[in-house]
Structure 1
Amino acid sequence: MNMQKFGFRIVIVGLTLSAAVFLAACNVEGFFVKLTDDPVWVDPNAAAAETAGAADAGGPGKGIYGRICAACHLGSGKGVPGNNIPPLAGSALASGDANKPIGIVLHGFRGPIERNGVKINGQMAAWKDQLSDQEIADVLTYVRGAFGNSGSAVTPDEVKTLREATASRTLPYAEAELP
């Protein structure tokens, strides 16, 4: 009987030590608080307000760019040529004929290109099913006026016209095929 009590105590001590080690390992900053700490209020609308402020500073296109395009082309518009993501900053294609960037955003892009002396062989997704004509016009107007680009504004009617004219297109554009 004494042996059973001894074994039970060993198990309890082992479990207690294991729990202590586990809890100590979890003690990342902010995980445990002192009872004397004041609670910190985190406003759930703060991120939305911050995004809205950024969009106001660069028009609605800046918010769309930040939400969708910046993940690849970066917030600076410099892209990552080493990872086959071309720059939008200083881009003659972005600043030139609006139909080319409209077509790329609508249907995507594939294949080799050369930008700023760097060969890139990447692919971009099509956004025709996710973005409205207004959203595409807004984001392209932003890109064409940001990052050192000097293109004119894009209108929703321009996007709608090209969307309708290329509605049957199923493949991303290659550079030679751009409208």
Structure 2
Amino acid sequence: MIEQPNNDARKRENPDPHEQNRPVPKLVLLVAAIMLTWAVTYIFTQQNDDAPELGDHRTMATLEGKPAGAPGAADGAQVYAANCVACHQATGAGLPGVFPPLAGSEWVLAADKLPVNILLHGITGKLTVKDSAYNGQMPAFKDKLSDAEIAAVLNYVRSNFGNGAGKITAAIVRAERDAGKERKNSWNGDEDLNQLKQ
């Protein structure tokens, strides 16, 4: 009889590794300790009052969302950016054939009560601006903006984009709001606004 070779798998395997036989190298521990020490030192040695010229020059009022002017004052540029810029654009040029321009608009430069009423009640239908007809809709802002905000945005529009018209006060807006408190519908474009001009 021929003897079978001994193929015991257990004899061919190496023993399981143990960490105590191969600990973390001392060099790796030293680098980790140096990095941790540097990080803690860096945090505690940094100055909290860096030079202001390196910052973005925002004030606490700006960060808190409060206007930087007098208490209760509204920022016309901010109101314009939040409510008007999508249609009339940042330049006040509008979109040709779609949204009328505010730059040089006879409606913007008209007597105080006309632009105030446009913002309070909105416009529907055909409106002619600088000899171009626009047929769309402008929303009413009487329920969205305060008297101070309407005055501020109108003053912003009337003094920018090449416009040069007088200031409108919140008191004028309040008077027009009270005078038109029964009005439920928007102005019907040229038809209503031309009558309001007189």
Relative to the length of structure 2, the TM-score reads 0.60
| Distance across 1 between alignment mates of 2:84 and 2:137 | 13
Q: Which has the greater radius of gyration?
A: 2
Any idea what SS the aligned residue of 2:173 has?
helix
Q: Report matched runs for 1:20-39 at 5 Å.
A: none
* Correspondence for 1:17: none
The answer as to 2:157 corresponding to 1:143 is yes
1:125-167, Cα deviation, whole Å (9 max, x unpaired): 0000010000000000111111111110110000000000000
SS at match of 1:154: coil
Instruction: Give the Cα separation in 2 of the matches to 1:176 and 1:82.
Output: 19
Q: Which amino acid aligns with 1:112?
A: K
The sequence identity of aligned pairs, in percent, is: 40
Where does residue 74 of structure 1 map in the other structure? 89
Give the match's secondary structure for 1:94.
coil
- CA positional deviation for 1:49: 4.5
Q: Does 2:195 correspond to 1:170?
A: no
Counterpart residue type for residue 82 of structure 2: R
1:98 corresponds to which residue?
112
Q: Give distance in 2, aligned partners of 1:164 and 1:49.
A: 32
Corresponding residue of 1:116: 130
For these two proteins, the number of residue pairs brought into alignment is 131
Gaps of 5+ in 1: 1-44
Within the candidate set 121, 144, 161, 1:107 is matched to 121
Cα distance in structure 2, aligned partners of 1:119 and 1:164: 31
What is the RMSD computed on CA atoms of the aligned residues? 2.7
Give the letter for the 2:122 counterpart: G
* Unaligned 5+ runs, structure 2: 1-57
Find 2:143's aligned residue among 108, 126, 129. Answer: 129
Q: Give the C-alpha shift of residue 121 in structure 1.
A: 0.6
In the aligned structure 2, how far is the partner of 1:148 from the partner of 1:80?
A: 17
8 Å Cα contact 2:107-2:114 kept in structure 1: yes
User: TM-score w.r.t. structure 1 length?
Assistant: 0.66
Q: Which amino acid letter does the alignment assign opposite residue 81 of structure 1?
A: P
- 2:91 partner amino acid: S
Does structure 1 residue 63 correspond to structure 2 residue 78?
yes
Partner amino acid for 1:137? Answer: A
| CA deviation map 1:51-90 (0-9, x unaligned) | x7xx88xx8101110111101100000111322x110011
The structure with more helix, counted as a fraction of residues: 1
- Give the counterpart letter for 1:123 in structure 2: Q
Following superposition, the deviation at residue 122 of structure 1 comes to 1.1
